Chains A and B, each alone.
Chain A
Amino acid sequence: MTFVWIAAGAFIGAICRFAISQVMKQWSDSSFPFATLFVNVLGAFGLGYLYAHTTHQTIILFIGVGFFGSFTTFSTINLELVRLAMNDRIRFGLYLVSTYLFGLIAAYIGWSI
C-alpha cells in the first residue's frame, strides 16, 4: 500500500503544480518564475507543518512524500535559474535568494506553529 499512497498523492500534487503554472502564465507574462516560487514556498510550509504535527505513516506517505514532494520541485528552479543567468542577472539573483530564503523561512514557520 505504501506505493499506492505515494503515487496517489504525487498524482494530485503534480497536477496542482502544473495547474498553478498554467493559471499564472495567463495572469502575467513576466519572465520571473512566480509560479515555481509560489508552489515551493507553500509546499515547504505545508511539509514543515505536517512533519511537526503528525507521525501517522499513511498521512506522511500520502500528503508528505506524495503530495508535497511532487507539488514542490527542485529541477525546475535550476532550469529557470540557468535561463535567467543567461539574460537577466538581476532576476537571477532575486529568484535564487527569494526561493531559498522564503522556502526555508516557510518550512520553519510551518514546523513551529
Chain B
Amino acid sequence: MLYIYVGLGGAIGALARYGLGLMVDSVGTSAFPVSTLLINLIGSFILGWLTHKFLQTGKPSPQLVTVVGTGMIGSFTTFSTFSVETIQLLEEGRIWLAILYVFLSITFGLLSSWVGYRVGTRQRKGGEVG
C-alpha cells in the first residue's frame, strides 16, 4: 500500500511542479531556467526541514515522511530537467548561462537543504523552552 501512496504523493508533487512552472513563465520568459531552479531550491528546503523535524521528534510517522518526502517533494524537484536544460543552454552557445545555472543549483541547493535542516532544529528547541 505504501507504494501506492508514494505514487499519489509523486503525482501531486509533479502537478505542483508543472503548475508553479506555468506561473513563473506567465510572469515573463527568460533564457535562464528560473522555474526549475526555484522549484528545486524550495523542495530542497522543505525536505531538509521535514527530515530533520522527523529525526528530532519522531513525528510525523515514518510512513508519512516517505509519502511526503520521497513521493511528493522527491517528485516536485527534478534532476533530469535540470540536466537537459543545462545541455540545451550549452547547445544554444549560452556557455556562461549554463555554468551559472549549474553553479547556482549546486550551491543554493545545498544551502537550502542545510537551512531547512537548521530551521527544523531551532523549532524544536523553541518548542521545548516554551
Q: Determine if A77 and B79 form an interchain contact, defined as CB atoms under 8 angstroms apart.
A: yes
Say whether B80 contacts A72, CB under 8 Å: yes
Q: Is B13 an interface residue (CB 8 A)?
A: yes
Bound CA span A47–B78, Å: 11
Q: In the complex, what residues of B have CB within 8 A of residue A107's CB? A: 80, 83-84, 86-87
Q: Which residues of A contact B17 (CB under 8 A)?
A: 65, 69
B6 (CB) vs chain A CBs: closest residue: A18
The stretch from B24-32, B42-50, B121-129 touching chain A is B42-50
Which of A12, A65, A106, A107 gathers most chain B CB within 10 Å? Answer: A107
Looking at chain B, what size class is its interface with the partner chain?
35 or more
Contact across chains for B77 and A106 when beta carbons are under 8 A apart? no
Indicate if the CB atoms of A7 and B14 lie closer than 8 Å: yes
In the assembled complex, the CB of A78 is this many whole angstroms from the nearest CB of chain B, namely 4
Q: Which residue of B lies closest to A13 (CB)?
A: B10
Give the distance in Å from the alpha carbon of A108 to the alpha carbon of B90 in the complex: 10
Which chain B residue lies CB-closest to A76? B74
Q: A76-B74, A111-B87 are in contact. Are A71 and B80 (CB under 8 A)?
A: yes
Known: A7-B11, A14-B7, A75-B47. A108 touches B80 (CB 8 A): no
> Which A positions have Cβ atoms within 8 angstroms of B?
2-3, 6-15, 17-19, 21, 40, 43-44, 46-48, 51, 65-66, 68-79, 81-82, 85, 96, 99-100, 103-104, 106-108, 111
B: residues with CB less than 8 A from A are 3-4, 6-15, 17-18, 40, 43-44, 46-48, 51, 66, 70-71, 73-84, 86-88, 90-91, 102, 105-106, 109-110, 112-114, 117
